Amino acid sequence: MVKRLLSATASEVAKFSPEELKQSIKANEGRTVLSENIVACEPLLPGITNAEISRSFGADLILLNVFDVFHPVVLGMYDVNNMAAATPNDNVIYDLKKYVGRPIGINLEPVSDSADMAEDKQNISNGRVASKETLERANELGFDFICLTGNPGTGVTNAEITKAIKLAKKYFDGIVIAGKMHGSGVNEAVVDLKTVEEFLEAGTDILLVPAVGTVWGLGDDEVRQAVKRAHEKGTLVMSAIGTSQESAQPETVREIAIRNKILGVDIQHIGDGSYAGVAPVENIFAMSKAIRGERHTVAMMARSIYR
């Protein structure tokens, strides 16, 4: 067995296998915070990555958004805040993991060319699309987990996510997270039990569902049923705030956090929908403190990455 993530040091986390990391999250009993960061935005502060900022305010896991695996750049990592001027570096994720002492993941998007769109479709680079090549490249770059999901308007469908899970289990060595945070511009249910069953059958390690209170019309019952079914299969669940409510008042974030903890989710995601591509730091702190209290939050913030 392994230490729960609440108590694990950076050196212990660095040695976790994917199964050990999953068990460590499970042992946290619903007290794990994941912060999503946009790597193409100028960071909140010059010369400091948004990942470092997120970690310092209580994030256990870091998820990189808009990261192109064929053009590996994280703004702020090497004192560059301009995508055009930044030089791609295949060591950037290994270096970033040393800086934050936490597992790092990436969004890859299972885009459909035939999606029934509800809005204009946004085209993305091949390095952001879920494929055999990008999954293998994610391994080479050192990512600990991938999240198969969709950004607004990209045309990601649940059917394509199911296909991508199977592909990821074959070509990616780390943890696979899968599901929608919102509609991704497509005319279909964001989450339903049929889709949940398909994701679980395909083999996802962690099921992603929208946090209750974020997606229009999605209530406690749908999330509770998804959590129950996933846990019966030995699969963890992550709730996601992907609707820019991550930049609402701290009170709103606290309410969402407590409500979804009651429903039994294992990880709580806080999105990147703010001015600098990272949630307001006070909201990361508010989520952390709400789901695990001041003691564990301060320990997470203060524990040295050299331990």
- What confidence score (pLDDT) does residue 284 get? 98
Is residue 307 in some structural domain? no
Whole-angstrom distance, CA of residue 36 vs CA of residue 239: 12
Over residues 153-179, mean pLDDT: 95
Per the structure, the count of domains in the chain is 1
Query: Dihedral, CA atoms, 3, 272, 167, 97, nearest 10 degrees?
Result: -50
Percent of residues, the chain, with pLDDT higher than 70: 98
Whole-angstrom distance, CA of residue 6 vs CA of residue 10: 11
Is residue 18 in some structural domain? no
Tell me the C-alpha to C-alpha distance, in Å, between residue 76 and each of 18, 49, 127, 273. Answer: 28, 5, 20, 18
- What confidence score (pLDDT) does residue 95 get? 97
**Is a pLDDT exceeding 90 seen at residue 16?**
yes
**Is a pLDDT exceeding 90 seen at residue 113?**
no
Is residue 239 in some structural domain? yes
Token couple for 200: 């679980």
Percent of residues, the chain, with pLDDT higher than 90: 83
Over residues 11-22, mean pLDDT: 97
More confident: 184 or 127: 127
More confident: 31 or 185: 31
- What confidence score (pLDDT) does residue 268 get? 98
Is residue 253 in some structural domain? yes
Is residue 200 in some structural domain? yes
**Is a pLDDT exceeding 70 seen at residue 116?**
no
Domain with 58 in it: 30-302
Name every residue whose Cβ is closer than 8 Å to that of residue 45 and which is 6 or more positions away in sequence: 53, 76
- Residue 148, SS3? strand
- What confidence score (pLDDT) does residue 146 get? 98
Is residue 40 in some structural domain? yes
How much is the mean pLDDT over the chain?
A: 94
Q: Which of 228, 168, 174, 227 minimizes the C-alpha distance to 203?
A: 168
Helix (H) or strand (E) holding 253: helix 250-262
pLDDT-derived band at 8, boundaries 50, 70, 90? very high
Name every residue whose Cβ is closer than 8 Å to that of residue 208 and which is 6 or more positions away in sequence: 147, 149, 177, 178, 179, 180, 181, 237, 238, 240, 269
Query: Dihedral, CA atoms, 33, 39, 44, 49, nearest 10 degrees?
Result: 80
- What confidence score (pLDDT) does residue 74 get? 96
**Is a pLDDT exceeding 80 seen at residue 81?**
no
pTM: 0.96
Q: Judge contact between 149 and 34, C-beta under 8 A.
A: no
**Is a pLDDT exceeding 70 seen at residue 14?**
yes
pLDDT, one tens digit per residue, over 43-61 is 999 889 999 999 999 999 9
**Is a pLDDT exceeding 70 seen at residue 290?**
yes
**Is a pLDDT exceeding 80 seen at residue 139?**
yes
**Is a pLDDT exceeding 80 seen at residue 149?**
yes
- Residue 267, SS3? strand
Q: Judge contact between 52 and 46, C-beta under 8 A.
A: no
- What confidence score (pLDDT) does residue 138 get? 98
- What confidence score (pLDDT) does residue 202 get? 98
pLDDT, one tens digit per residue, over 203-238 is 999 999 999 999 988 999 999 999 999 999 999 999
Is residue 9 in some structural domain? no
Is residue 3 in some structural domain? no
- What confidence score (pLDDT) does residue 189 get? 79
- What confidence score (pLDDT) does residue 117 get? 65
pLDDT, one tens digit per residue, over 232-263 is 999 999 999 999 999 999 999 999 999 999 99
The CATH number covering residue 79 comes to: 3.20.20.60
